[in-house]
Structures are given as structure tokens and as C-alpha cells.
């Protein structure tokens, strides 16, 4: 069991490589942060959150400024969404929050529109103005309902003889 400097060096390099790989996975890929960083904690009530999830981004003008930390149901059956925002952010008290969708069927996120009030939101404050999530299925349902009602009163002219030309 004598010392062998070359082997020790190789083992040291191996352990270093492993730790670098771990750190890369944790910090760069996994986005590791200590949870006790003091962010601006605000919340907002929505009548509909769609499939908004915890850790969904909160953006202003497309720039990510924080994330959703919790989604719970209030006593009045509205959904309370807690957010942790960048602590350097100066948001006025009449800021409004809306749940929007990335693309047609993409993930939900929260978009904030800053207002013009003098006073700023503090940690623990509530965002008063909110806009609920749009549920695509409900909108489609309304559109289809509208179309069928329309076709009852005004039947569409029958289409011509079927052809096989239609294809994607």
C-alpha cells in the first residue's frame, strides 16, 4: 500500500471531473439556487388558472422576472397564486397580472403589466387586477355552439358533388 504519486494524481483528476460534472448538472442545467434568497413575494387571486403549474415563469414584456411558488384554493373558491419575483423590481400597486399561454397549446405563464401608481408593491402584498386564463376548449365550445345556432336559422347551401381531390 505504498504511495504512488501518479495514481494519486489520476484519482484526484477523476474526483475533480466528477465534481465538475455534478456542479454543471446542478447549477447550469438544474438551475440550483438556495431557496432562502429574499425575493419579492406577492400573490394574486384568479378565477381560472388553466393548467398553470408551480415554477411557471412570471414575465414582464417577455423578460423572466420570477416564478410561481404555490397555487392554492381560497375559501371563496378563487385560486391564489403565490409568486416570487426579483427583489430589485419596483412594481406599482396597480400592476395587473394575467395568465397567458405560450403559443396555441404551449405552457401557461404569468404576465405582469406595470401600472402608474406612486406606491410600490411590498413583499406579501396582493396584486388586485387579474385576468384569468383562457380555456381553449371553452372558447371552441362557444364558437361551435354559435355556428350550430347560426346554421339552424340559415342553413348552409349544400356542397357540390364529392370529389377526391381534397387532401392535405
Partner 1 sequence: MANAIAQLGNRSLHVVRGLGNMAAFAASIGLAVVTPPVRPEAFVRELYKLGVLSLVIIVVCGLSVGMVLGLQGYHTLERFGAEQSLGALVGLSLIRELGPVVTALLVTGRAGSATTAEIGSMVATEQLDGLRMLSIDPVRLVVSPKALAMIVVMPLLTAIFIVCGLYGGYLVGVGLMGGDPGLYMASIRTSVDFYNDVEACLLKAGVFGVLVGLIATYRGYTSAPNAEGVSAATTSTVVMGSVVVLLADYVLTALWGV
70 lies in the site for partner 1, by CB under 8 A? no
For residues 16 and 128, which CB has a smaller minimum distance to partner 1 in the complex? 16
User: In this structure, what are the phi and psi dihedrals at residue 71, rounded to the nearest 5 degrees?
Assistant: -130, 120
14 lies in the site for partner 1, by CB under 8 A? yes
* CB-based contact 96:113 (threshold 8 Å): yes
For residues 53 and 142, which CB has a smaller minimum distance to partner 1 in the complex? 53
For residues 68 and 127, which CB has a smaller minimum distance to partner 1 in the complex? 68
28 lies in the site for partner 1, by CB under 8 A? yes
Minimum distance from CB of 2 to partner 1 (Å)? 8
Site string for partner 1, 127-166 (x = CB under 8 A): ----------------------------------------
Query: Nearest 5 degrees, angle CA 49-CA 51-CA 55?
Result: 90
DSSP-assigned beta bridge partners for residue 42: 83
Number of helices (H), then strands (E), in the chain: 2, 8
Which DSSP string corresponds to 44-76?
EEES--TT--TT-EEEETTEEEEEEEEEEE-TT
Within 10 angstroms of residue 45's Cβ, the number of other Cβ atoms is 16
116 lies in the site for partner 1, by CB under 8 A? no
For residues 83 and 121, which CB has a smaller minimum distance to partner 1 in the complex? 83
CA–CA separation, 82 and 70 (whole Å): 5
CA–CA separation, 49 and 26 (whole Å): 30
Minimum distance from CB of 6 to partner 1 (Å)? 10
55 lies in the site for partner 1, by CB under 8 A? yes
**Binding residues among 30-49 for partner 1 as defined by CB under 8 A:** 30-33
Where on the chain is the footprint of partner 1 (CB under 8 A)? 1, 3, 7-8, 10-11, 14-15, 17-19, 21-22, 24-26, 28-33, 55
Amino acid at each position: 500500500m505504498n504511495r504512488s504519486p501518479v495514481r494519486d494524481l489520476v484519482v484526484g483528476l477523476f474526483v475533480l471531473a466528477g465534481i465538475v460534472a455534478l456542479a454543471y448538472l446542478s447549477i447550469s442545467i438544474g438551475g440550483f439556487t438556495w431557496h432562502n434568497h429574499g425575493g419579492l413575494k406577492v400573490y394574486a387571486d384568479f378565477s381560472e388558472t388553466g393548467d398553470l403549474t408551480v415554477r411557471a415563469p412570471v414575465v414582464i414584456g417577455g423578460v423572466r422576472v420570477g416564478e410561481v411558488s404555490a397555487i392554492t384554493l381560497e375559501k371563496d373558491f378563487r385560486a391564489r397564486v403565490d409568486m416570487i419575483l426579483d427583489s430589485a423590481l419596483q412594481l406599482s400597486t396597480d400592476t395587473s397580472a394575467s395568465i397567458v399561454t405560450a403559443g396555441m397549446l404551449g405552457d401557461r405563464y404569468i404576465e405582469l403589466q406595470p401600472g402608474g401608481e406612486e406606491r410600490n408593491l411590498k413583499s406579501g402584498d396582493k396584486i388586485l387586477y387579474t385576468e384569468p386564463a383562457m380555456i381553449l376548449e371553452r372558447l371552441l365550445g362557444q364558437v361551435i355552439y354559435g355556428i350550430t345556432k347560426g346554421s339552424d336559422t340559415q342553413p348552409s347551401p349544400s356542397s357540390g358533388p364529392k370529389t377526391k381531390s381534397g387532401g392535405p
